[in-house]
Amino acid sequence: MAYSVSETDHPTDRYAEYKNRVLTLVFGDKFGLLLFVSSLAFFGLFWRVGFFITDNYTVANGLYNAANGHLLVTDIVYGPPSGETPGMIAGDGGRYSRTVGHIVLTLPVMWALEALTSVADLRVVLTGLWSSAILATGVVLGRVLKKESLGRTAGAVVAAVVFVSNIAVATHLDGRWLAHLSLQITSMLAAALTSVLIYRLVSRTHTTRAGVAAGLVVILATPVGFWATIPKRHALIALCVVTTVYSFYLSRETTDSEKSLRFRALSYVFVGLATWVHAADAFILFVSLLVVDLLTASSNSRRELTVVFGAFGLSLVPFFVTNSVVTGNPLLPPRFMPGYEATEVVSTGGGAESSSSTGGSGASGQSTSSSSSNGATGDGTTEAGSASSPESVFAPVFTAVQAASLTVAELGSILVRHLSRTAERATDTHRLTATFVRAGYIESVARKDFGQSANLSMLEAMPVFAAVVLLPKAAVRRVRAHGRDALSATDLLVAVYAVVLTLMYLPRLPLHASITVRYLLPAMPLFVYTVFRFTESRELLQYPRALGFSYFGTVVIGTQLLLTYALMLEASIGEAMQIHALFNLVAAACLAVWVLFHSFVSEQARPVGAVVLGCVCGLTTSFLLLSGTMYLATDSGYVLPLIDWLNAQLSWL
């Protein structure tokens, strides 16, 4: 490899080259970078300070303790002081938070913020970061439009203005929010990267324009934006899923077999990283990838499989290490452990030599399914530990294998039980309709949401999903064409993943506190990819002016009208959500009708389709903005002082 460092080499040049290489690796090109920074600026608008969902307490407490050097959750800084929050598990020697991958990935952010707040004001730092995202958007936009100096100046002016106006109304932001804010930052970064990856995928499979449109749709017109600022696992899993699909596509696209193998292995690496965040979601991805990969690979030689699974095995190392720390068994993910219950009684059950300083971290109150597995593995590991006598060298190996097989058998039986339940419920049309088409008021769900029917269906939350009606037609076309190329293989992977994900979660859906079918969020960026796979949808992008005007019109005017309507009705949260649901459904129906029947319309009327798409996306953006800043606000306000102030001004309404 040619590598020269000459005397004349300027260090800044080397830095610039290195920077360019990293930027290209992550963002692809300037369009990817533009999507990234602009989506961060957008997400910042509804960056809440408080906790939206009780599971967040667990992860934030986990991060706080991890930043202090231990995964064991000894200090509870958020939520109920008992630490008894959803997702807190009774692990090996005390309580632990699940979603450890998210915690570890966020550690650098947390430390950086901690360091910054020791010299600077937290609120001003975060406002400055957000204003910098706007500045970066200006700079990159200038570069894209080939008006670099104008972009720099305009970006700087706009950023300075928003910064100053924010600081004018800024209030103190307490440092105790640090852990939660850091988790939100990584979640937003993941959501922004998801849009970048969808752009890279679609711009490779189709045109740059389609790619940019798809990336924008992911940010502005899907619930990905909604969950970006709520640090659940969803945004991270969505990112792992799209990176897997993108790597898979690259592995099939290239003709170079070495390169192909590298990308093939890489797609498994992202699955391995996903296990660290959420094992069950990663398993769904793994099954889909494995089946489609083995089926569509040009060859499955022993060497190739060794490389692929070797890489996968290595990517599982963080997962195994976490499991051993948390559950005492590398194969048993934290999610299968019983929930933590604050009791003073230390149970006599397996795996509970709990003597943590907080006391009462026993494994009592285990659910039936996990108690048996925990018991089995607990016994297994203790035997393995005690059998280090010189009598039998193989005893530890034997007991370890026994424990592992017990764990695998137990995990298998959980899976079988789940699958049989799925099979039972997949034919339930009510459930499918409520999940995908119209949710409305469902008594059993609303009861757990304080009587509010605040949960939307897939179509209500993401009306652009309506374009998927083209699927049967396109599928028939595809089968006729007998494609076995890179694109077909990727389509197959996307389809299999979406179906497996839906089937695995269907028994639990519709569910309370899910707002936008959040369990299916990882598939939503892929649905955007699907939408832009259809020629009919891509044709709509030929009218950028109609699309742009209708989109911005809907966002600027429609948002105000929707808010006024909700205020006039004195709408409750459930009602406000249903107003959006109904409007989105109508928009979705229009889009579906258009893409199906547009061929009957004369050539001059074609821009109407673009207007429909613009309205569909605009309505979803309105939903993101209004739900994020008005309906579903938290008591502790927003990170951006201006949004905080606006929210307070409107609270009398």
Partner 1 sequence: MVTWRDPVVLVLSCFLLTAVVSGPVVAGVDLTPEDRVDDDSSTFTGATGSVTVSETTIPSERYTLRQGVTGSGIHKLDAPMSTVSVETTSGPVLVMYSLRVPELSYDTEVFRTVDEGFSGELTVGLDDASVPSNRLENDTYRATVEISVREESGKRVLDQREITIVVA
Q: Kindly report the CA angle at 30 between 245 and 109, in degrees rounded to 5?
A: 70
170 or 230: whose CB is closer to partner 1?
Answer: 170
Rounded-to-integer distance, Cα 303 and Cα 319, Å: 25
| E strand intervals along 75-149 | 88-91, 94-97
439 or 498: whose CB is closer to partner 1?
Answer: 439
Close Cβ partners of 342 (under 8 Å, ≥ 6 residues apart): 82, 83, 84, 360
280 or 446: whose CB is closer to partner 1?
Answer: 446
Q: What minimum distance in Å lies between the beta carbon of 172 and partner 1?
A: 5
Q: What minimum distance in Å lies between the beta carbon of 196 and partner 1?
A: 22
376 or 566: whose CB is closer to partner 1?
Answer: 566
Of residues 613, 592, 617, the one with CA closest to residue 468? 592
Would you give the end-to-end CA distance of the chain in angstroms?
67
16 or 345: whose CB is closer to partner 1?
Answer: 16
Of residues 90, 84, 62, the one with CA closest to residue 366? 90
Rounded-to-integer distance, Cα 619 and Cα 554, Å: 6
Q: What minimum distance in Å lies between the beta carbon of 583 and partner 1?
A: 11
Q: What minimum distance in Å lies between the beta carbon of 125 and partner 1?
A: 5
Q: What minimum distance in Å lies between the beta carbon of 425 and partner 1?
A: 23
Angle formed by the axes of helices 208-220 and 178-205, to 10°? 150
260 or 627: whose CB is closer to partner 1?
Answer: 627
166 or 370: whose CB is closer to partner 1?
Answer: 166
Rounded-to-integer distance, Cα 95 and Cα 356, Å: 9
Q: What minimum distance in Å lies between the beta carbon of 19 and partner 1?
A: 13
DSSP class of residue 54 equals T
Rounded-to-integer distance, Cα 101 and Cα 326, Å: 12
Q: What minimum distance in Å lies between the beta carbon of 135 and partner 1?
A: 6
Widest distance between CA atoms in the chain = 88
List 95's β-bridge partners, or say none: 90
Residue found by looking up tokens 């830095």 in the block: 15
118 or 599: whose CB is closer to partner 1?
Answer: 118
Cβ neighbours, 10 Å, residue 643: 21
Q: What minimum distance in Å lies between the beta carbon of 65 and partner 1?
A: 24
Q: What element of type H or E holds 95? A: strand 94-97
Amino acid at 233: R
16: tokens are 């610039």
Rounded-to-integer distance, Cα 392 and Cα 395, Å: 5
Rounded-to-integer distance, Cα 221 and Cα 194, Å: 13
43: tokens are 């997400």
Cβ neighbours, 10 Å, residue 67: 18
116 or 400: whose CB is closer to partner 1?
Answer: 116
Rounded-to-integer distance, Cα 217 and Cα 607, Å: 18
380 or 641: whose CB is closer to partner 1?
Answer: 641
Cβ neighbours, 10 Å, residue 118: 8
3-state SS record for 503-524 = HHHHHHCCCCCCCCCHHHHHHH
Rounded-to-integer distance, Cα 572 and Cα 510, Å: 21
List 88's β-bridge partners, or say none: 97
383 or 575: whose CB is closer to partner 1?
Answer: 575
159 or 462: whose CB is closer to partner 1?
Answer: 159
Amino acid at 398: F
Which residues lie near partner 1 (CB under 8 A)?
116-121, 123-125, 128, 131-132, 135, 139, 152-153, 155-157, 159-160, 163, 167, 169-173, 438-441, 443, 446, 451-453, 569-572, 574-579, 581-582, 645, 648
